[in-house]
A and B are shown apart, each in its own frame.
Chain A
Amino acid sequence: DAGITQSPRHKVTETGTPVTLRCHQTENHRYMYWYRQDPGHGLRLIHYSYGVKDTDKGEVSDGYSVSRSKTEDFLLTLESATSSQTSVYFCAISEWRGSSSSYEQYFGPGTRLTVT
């Protein structure tokens, strides 16, 4: 599992409240990603980070912000949660395997967020 954990694993919150999801990795990976997964849409990239304090937007970044103050932690914040942000959120790291020329992404276990 490449040492990736996510917290919380499940959360129910009300519309308009702020929510922060945490991704933690223990293997000093440079690149970290946040995706959301919804039926019919697959995995859509929200934000990603290529180093401490270095982040960039993905396909569906509106309504989300991220921070990475330490290599091991990548935080995703919903400033004011809406029902459309009900989803399963996956964190991922990427690792280049030169021996097989593959660029594998390892995913965390996911966080199921429900906004009522």
Chain B
Amino acid sequence: GENVEQHPSTLSVQEGDSAVIKCTYSDSASNYFPWYKQELGKRPQLIIDIRSNVGEKKDQRIAVTLNKTAKHFSLHITETQPEDSAVYFCAAFETSYDKVIFGPGTSLSVIP
């Protein structure tokens, strides 16, 4: 089955700097890659996603890139703000099975 790895497990950045979180997946059949943000004590929420036929997608300060050949995908947050502090999860999804497999998460701290 699918296995998703995520690095780093913790990340601290100064406010205004960029943050990058990297994930790898194992199943070449996976074709959809969402990213979730979970604030302390709250439920995970989708922030951005990318499909396998797209190499990059951007939404304001957040961007995601995908390299299907290498089975890598990354989340980029620019101009970080304290409210970006949270745990971020990447995930991989093979749409015909309707199962999302999550990475272990990255705890991001943005220092004012």
B-binding residues in A (CB < 8 A): 31, 33, 35, 40-45, 48, 50, 58-59, 90, 94, 101-105, 107-110
Please indicate the chain A residues that have their CB under 8 angstroms from the CB of B6 in the complex. 42
Tell me the complex Cα distance, A109–B103, Å: 20
Which of B1, B95, B102 is close to A43, meaning CB atoms less than 8 Å apart? B102
Chain B 43-54, CB-CB to A under 8 Å as 1, else 0, gives 111100101000
Q: Would A31 and B100 be within 8 Å (CB), given that A59-B1, A108-B43 are in contact?
A: no
- In the complex, whether B61 has a CB less than 8 A from a CB of chain A is no
Q: Is the interface of A mostly helix, strand, loop or mixed?
A: strand
CA distance A18 to B1 in the complex (A): 30
* Chain B residues numbered 28-84 whose CB sits less than 8 Å from any CB in chain A: 32, 34, 43-46, 49, 51
A-B contact pairs, 16 of them (CB 8 A): A33-B100, A35-B102, A42-B103, A48-B99, A90-B43, A102-B32, A102-B34, A102-B46, A102-B49, A103-B49, A103-B93, A104-B49, A105-B100, A107-B43, A107-B45, A108-B43
- Residue positions of B touching A, CB distance < 8 A: 1, 6, 9, 32, 34, 43-46, 49, 51, 89, 93, 95, 98-105
**Would you call A42 and B105 a contact (CB within 8 A)?**
yes
Give A28 to B61 CA distance when docked, in angstroms: 34
Contact of A105 among B46, B51, B103 (CB under 8 A): B46
How many Å from the CB of B109 to the closest CB on chain A? 16
